[in-house]
């Protein structure tokens, strides 16, 4: 019997891909990518999709027994959502944060910022501080698996104050069970949030994804939610407080629920 057909070419990451545009030279893979390719038991001449993780994409042929690629043909960027959504994620149990980054990448997150929230456990903050390289690798693998072109940035942990100072023109959305839903077009706000009434009405009337090209930052708190002082700090940025539904979601589930609602136009 012949070889089984490959469902789709494997994806490999080559951060320096741009430097090889227009070149006929072979590109040697990093160790992780060599191992990935060889685990597929492919032969020289097999096709692979090459990504730089920043938006550049090409197809090429394996050489050197899976250690390199050549004969590149560059393609258009694919797999990226219409809206750029950054997830600001409170530090929690590392395994749950890893799951959130993997599935959040698959759902279209543009970046992740870990937050050192008041209700985050100190041991979790310390552990995640040491796991940033691992979290980046998880985002890389998820990008390849779901056929995106851009690998989300993963950074932090940052204090709430540092995170808020870094915001520019992005619209801030705070996931909150008592917030408004995307379908609402008005109605009373909780008294602590009357300052954001006009912003909330515009947001919910149009819908977060009503038009493509939005820059959104979604803050998702730890178990128990953000502390009152943190809510007050957010309120100074005139955010939208957004409900993700009638049920209380775990942190990693909230990431998926938020992205499903926000990454594509309504």
Sorted by where each begins, the domain ranges of the chain are 11-75, 84-262
Residues in CB range of 148: below 8 A, 6 or more apart: 78, 79, 80, 105, 108
**pLDDT at site 1:** 45
84-262 CATH pick, 3.40.50.1000, 3.30.70.20, 3.90.1720.10, 3.40.1280.10: 3.40.1280.10
- What sections of 71-214 are H helices per DSSP? 94-107, 122-129, 132-146, 160-165, 197-206
**pLDDT at site 210:** 47
Other C-beta atoms closer than 10 Å to the C-beta of 263 total: 21
Strand partners, 262: none
**pLDDT at site 184:** 54
In whole angstroms, give the CA distance from residue 44 to residue 38: 11
Which class in CATH covers the domain with range 11-75?
A: mainly beta
The structure tokens 């890893």 sit at 98
User: How deeply is 51 buried, as exposed, middle or buried, from its count of CB atoms within 10 A (0-12, 13-18, 19+)?
Assistant: buried
**pLDDT at site 211:** 55
Strand partners, 42: none
**pLDDT at site 193:** 42
The structure tokens 């209380």 sit at 248
Low-confidence residues in the chain, pLDDT < 50: 1-2, 5-6, 185-202, 204-205, 209-210
Task: Name the phi and psi angles at 30, rounded to 5.
Answer: -70, 165
**pLDDT at site 22:** 85
End-to-end, the C-alpha distance of the chain in Å comes to 49
What's the pTM? 0.85
**pLDDT at site 8:** 83
**pLDDT at site 157:** 98
């Amino acid at each position: 019997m012949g070889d089984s057909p490959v469902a789709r070419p494997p994806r490999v990451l080559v951060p320096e891909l741009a430097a090889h545009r227009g070149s006929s030279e072979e590109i040697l893979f990093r160790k992780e990518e060599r191992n990935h390719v060889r685990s597929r038991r492919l032969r020289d001449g097999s096709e692979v999709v090459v990504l730089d993780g920043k938006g550049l994409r090409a197809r090429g042929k394996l050489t050197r027994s899976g250690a390199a690629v050549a004969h590149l043909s560059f393609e258009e960027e694919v797999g990226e959502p219409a809206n750029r959504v950054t997830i600001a994620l409170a530090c929690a149990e590392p395994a749950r944060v890893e799951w959130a980054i993997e599935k959040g990448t698959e759902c279209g997150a543009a970046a992740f910022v870990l937050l050192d929230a008041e209700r985050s456990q100190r041991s979790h903050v310390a552990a995640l501080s040491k796991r940033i390289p691992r979290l980046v690798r998880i985002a890389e693998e998820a990008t390849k698996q779901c056929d995106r072109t851009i690998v989300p940035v993963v950074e932090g942990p940052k204090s709430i104050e540092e995170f808020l100072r870094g915001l520019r023109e992005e619209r801030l959305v705070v996931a909150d069970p008592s917030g408004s839903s995307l379908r609402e077009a008005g109605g009373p706000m909780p008294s602590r949030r009357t300052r954001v009434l006009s912003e909330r009405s515009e947001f919910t009337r149009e819908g977060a994804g009503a038009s493509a090209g939005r820059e959104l930052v979604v803050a998702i708190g730890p178990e128990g939610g953000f502390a009152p002082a943190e809510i007050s700090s957010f309120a100074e940025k005139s955010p939208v407080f957004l409900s993700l539904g009638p049920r209380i979601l775990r942190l990693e589930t909230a990431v998926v629920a938020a992205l499903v609602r926000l990454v594509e136009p309504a």
